[in-house]
Structures are given as structure tokens and as C-alpha cells.
Amino acid sequence: MARHSGGRGWYGRLIGAALGVTMLATGASVWTAQAGDVDDAPPEATAPADPGQNVKPVSRTIAHASEQGKRGINITIDDGPDPKWTPQMLDLLRQNGVKATFCMVGTQAQAHPDVVKKVVADGHRLCDHSISHNTGMDKESNAYQAKQILDAERMITKASGGVRPMYYRAPGGAFTPYSRKLAADRGMRPLGWNVDTKDFELPGTDAIVATVERELPGGPTLLFHDAGGDRTQTVEALRRLLPRLKAQGYTFGFPVR
């Protein structure tokens, strides 16, 4: 899993001043760190479960497989919600009878609760994608990681009208043993990906489609984006891919929990 860098500084400009978050520039792969076992060291900080919520812990291993089995595909859409692009993707998903997982940045959910509610109303699942999309979270303290994850969880839950995120995806894949355990204990399965479409780099619709077709045999979880810039290419790529993949016998569902 490669971290995203180019073209992703918009969160730092938009949110960093308000939150006082220092965005760290990174470029190394974090797959090895993601796959490791959780250590037994006591956490620096924890947050109690929200009152009245019945939270059931889930596996702390990073999910890639689909609930639909070997011919299943997981569409995952990151960094929103966005008032322009998310509704367009919701329309396409609805037209094709496809469900997806939306990995939301907490402040984006807080800013656009109407869009979050539309995602939920259409039967899609929510995923916690932190507050500020700091791809260097794995270099920060446990207290910082806890705030990023748990505050975003609360923001998304409130924006949705009470529907909690079912997954946690670390920005840029920057998981740590602590963040995976914390999320899992809160009922959010750590969520990876198999196919990074690189749509955030605006490579062209043809290139996005070709990446999916080339890399899909390697695993079912596809990564797209609905925020962070012009997502015209992503919308058009989904317009082509969804019916094409269905015609090839694939089914669409959610990542395993």
C-alpha cells in the first residue's frame, strides 16, 4: 500500500490551521507495519465508549476480502463527503445497483451532514478516515492517533444521524498496531485496499479503468476518491467500470467484518 502524496495537500491548507495539525511528508510503503501483530504495551491514551452505545469489538487485522466471496468486489470511496462529487457517485451506484463503502474525513462529514445522510439512506456503509487525513499518523503518539480516530468517529456518527462507521481506514495506509486495536475495539474493522486507482493523480479516465482491469486479479478492494479536487475522471471511470464488471460476472458488496 503506497501512501498518497502528490496533490493531497488540500486538507492541510483547509483544516491544518483550525486543528493545529502538522502534516508530515511521507513516501514509504507501510504494508509491513500494517500486517504486524498488535503489541502488548499499554496505550498512552484511550477514550471511553460513547454512553448508551453497544459497541462490539471486531477483528483488528486489516480487511481486504469481500463479503461476496471470490467474485466479489468492494468499491471504497475516500476523503469525502463532497457536495459536488459524492452525489454524482451515489447516482451512478444507484443506477447500477451497487453498494459501496465511503471512507469519510471527520471534518468533511461535519461540514456536509446532508450528504452523509444520503450515503446512509442509499444503503452504503461508513468508514472512519480520521479528522485531517494526516498520512504521517503512524509517526505520531498514541494520544494523537486516538483523537484523530475517535473524534472522526463521533463527527461521522453525528452527521449520519446516529449510524456509526463500520470500518477504519488509516490515511495513506498509515496503520499502527495501536490504531488497529483502538478501531477494532470500537467496532471498526481496519480496512485496506488491493487496487489503488491513483485517481487522485488525475491520470485520465482510460488509465483509471486500465488500472482496475489490470490489478483486480490481485484482490477485490478498489480505492477511488470523491474529494480533494476535480473528480470528473473518477465519475467517468465508474460509469464505464460498474456495468462492465457486472457483465463479467462480478458482484459488488462490502469488505468483510
What's the CA angle centered on 29, arms 170 and 257, to 5 degrees? 40
> 186-209: b or e for each residue (b if 16 or more CB lie within 10 Å)?
bbbbbbbbbbbbbbbbbeebebbb
What amino acid positions are annotated as catalytic residues? 78, 225
Residues 6+ apart with CB under 8 A from 186: 49, 55, 57, 149, 150, 153, 168
- Best CA proximity match to 235, nearest among 84, 71, 132: 84
Residues 6+ apart with CB under 8 A from 215: 194, 195
